[in-house]
Structure 1
């Protein structure tokens, strides 16, 4: 087996392991993938995913250390940074020495003040999600990443994209199952309360959803959660 195929197998095996668990601890799976990436990319010490839903909604997933989370907080607070640029502009961002970096001055000042990180590599992840996601690698020494680091980082960014998309699909599937179950419970409550059949109960839920401009699953959750207080 080639080294690249072995790397792909390792990452996908980590994803498969977490999908077989009942709780679906996706952050732990992403952290394991990040640890594999750090071990394999020359110069890397820390890794994390920056997940972006608008400038006010920036979160960190799978961080192998607290520094990736701190640096994402810096980006959120200042509205700029390499991970945001990598996610928004489809670029690979390479910071060789944060102390001399001039593209994001507010980010640079806060990052140097709050962490010892000097080198940064950010890769945009591609896939099915509407979210913007970047894989970020960090090191405390300047000049930590070379051409080999970038080449291997691209490989692991591709593997992480596969993992991210797979886990997002799994999350969506589990969410759909949970929604189906709670909608079924809500239908049962309405059928019992109003002596109607399943079709009429679902139509009532649908009408409530439309009139209140609220997701049908949320309407169902409210009905089910209110039941104990009414008994």
Structure 2
């Protein structure tokens, strides 16, 4: 609505998404929301997808574009690539300039030929021999910033819960609680909207995507609004 205060728009949109989100209960739709949210809110991201690693093969899940599934298939064929190495070495991989990267020459050449300029890959979980990753791609070199890493890590933590099941909820709670403002906002939503911790975090991601406001800024707004309400007569 023209002239409406941004905070009022955010509050109204948050309420709308809370209602819509009640129907998103299965893992597949949650993963889809994570991927869509990654493209919408992670600075620099143009394409995204969840990868599952089974032994030496990579399975693409909920890719935002066929290009993502194709790149996963290439890593399986080559038995080499940033996603595989990131997961096996238990760390985040950033390729700032795909054309200048020398670690995975066959993969990077294929990616450049398909218009990919940079990549950011996060490990999701490790369970026996099954591994998962959240992969973000950009069409230009140097697309991902420190802020991209922070937001991507939050999305990856949530995706871990959806992929690994309820047993990973404690891991997510611990990781998110370490980011104090987001942990507080999650608790407020859990109480106010009658949501689980996992659903409360996804609600913030969905709202971020819909409003183009960063997750951490939404969390800060929620906490400020809550604290202001405590002092009202």
TM-score by length of 2: 0.59
Which ranges in structure 2 are unaligned for 5 or more consecutive residues? 1-9, 169-233
Asked if 2 retains the 8 angstrom alpha-carbon contact of 1:97 and 1:143, the reply is: yes
Matched, 1:51 2:46: no
Give the whole-Å Cα distance in 2 for the aligned partners of 1:17 and 1:61.
Answer: 20
- Could you give the per-residue CA deviations for residues 196-225 of structure 1, whole angstroms, max 9, x where no partner exists? xxxxxxxxxxxxxxxxxxxxxxxxxxxxxx
Structure 2 residue matching 1:42: 3-state secondary structure: coil
Find the counterpart in structure 2 of residue 62 from structure 1. Answer: 62
Find the counterpart in structure 2 of residue 82 from structure 1. Answer: 82
- What is the CA distance between 1:168 and its match in structure 2? 9.8
Asked if 1 retains the 8 angstrom alpha-carbon contact of 2:126 and 2:132, the reply is: no
- What is the CA distance between 1:127 and its match in structure 2? 5.8
- What is the CA distance between 1:29 and its match in structure 2? 3.4
Find the counterpart in structure 1 of residue 100 from structure 2. Answer: 100
Structure 1 residues 141 and 167: CA distance shift in structure 2, 3 A:
farther
TM-score by length of 1: 0.59
- Could you give the per-residue CA deviations for residues 93-143 of structure 1, whole angstroms, max 9, x where no partner exists? 000010000010111122222x11111000001265751101100110110
1:151-170 equivalences under 5 Å are 151-166=150-165
Measured on the aligned residues, the alpha-carbon RMSD in Å equals: 2.8
Structure 2 residue matching 1:91: 3-state secondary structure: coil
Q: Which has the larger radius of gyration?
A: 1
Give the whole-Å Cα distance in 1 for the aligned partners of 2:152 and 2:128.
Answer: 21
Asked if 2 retains the 8 angstrom alpha-carbon contact of 1:32 and 1:62, the reply is: no
Structure 1 residues 111 and 94: CA distance shift in structure 2, 3 A:
same
Asked if 1 retains the 8 angstrom alpha-carbon contact of 2:55 and 2:129, the reply is: no
- What is the CA distance between 1:17 and its match in structure 2? 3.2
- What is the CA distance between 1:75 and its match in structure 2? 0.5
Give the whole-Å Cα distance in 2 for the aligned partners of 1:103 and 1:136.
Answer: 17
Structure 2 residue matching 1:125: 3-state secondary structure: strand
Give the whole-Å Cα distance in 2 for the aligned partners of 1:97 and 1:87.
Answer: 20
Q: Highest relative contact order (Cα 8 Å, sep 6+), 1 or 2?
A: 2
Find the counterpart in structure 1 of residue 145 from structure 2. Answer: 146
Structure 1 residue matching 2:23: 3-state secondary structure: helix
Find the counterpart in structure 1 of residue 32 from structure 2. Answer: 31
Matched, 1:40 2:41: yes
- Could you give the per-residue CA deviations for residues 171-211 of structure 1, whole angstroms, max 9, x where no partner exists? xxxxxxxxxxxxxxxxxxxxxxxxxxxxxxxxxxxxxxxxx
- What is the CA distance between 1:28 and its match in structure 2? 4.0
